[in-house]
Structure 1
Amino acid sequence: MQPDSEPRPFLTIAQAARLLGVSASTLRNWDRTGKLKPRRHPMNRYRVYDRAELERLKSKIEGSHASR
């Protein structure tokens, strides 16, 4: 069985943290403060993050670092 070449639309907290270059604790903190809201997996209630939203945030973060 071959893995899908299409990226998954939702990422786990570990995958999201790796994509953004932050820790899972940072993502949990952003959740608490409302900066980034995860969805909850319907079966296990784990946090899952929308890849498109993460990509937008990553671009925003990288843009703010470039303007310094």
Structure 2
Amino acid sequence: MSDYLTIGEASETLGVTRATLRNWDKAGKLKPYRHPVNGYRLYNRNELETLLKVVQTTQ
């Protein structure tokens, strides 16, 4: 599971709030995976790094 980050870890990595990540989920900008036991949102580390690169190059 080291390839996945919790919503808190993902928000810190991207520098956005947890609410922003939830809004992006609803808008279809990010697709979280769900933990099979507790249903928590998990984000793929590689997908977040790709998103971060895209955001940085557009600024």
Shorter-chain TM band = over 0.9
The reply on whether 1:55 has 2:54 as its aligned counterpart is no
Any unmatched runs of 5+ in structure 2?
none
**Identity level (%):** 52
Aligned residues: 58
Q: Deviations over 1:17-37 (max 9, x none)?
A: 000000000000000000001
**C-alpha distance in 2 between matches for 1:36 and 1:29:** 9
The reply on whether 1:10 has 2:41 as its aligned counterpart is no
Match of 2:26? 32
Greater relative contact order (CA < 8 Å, ≥ 6 in sequence): 2
Could you say what secondary structure the match of 2:30 adopts? coil
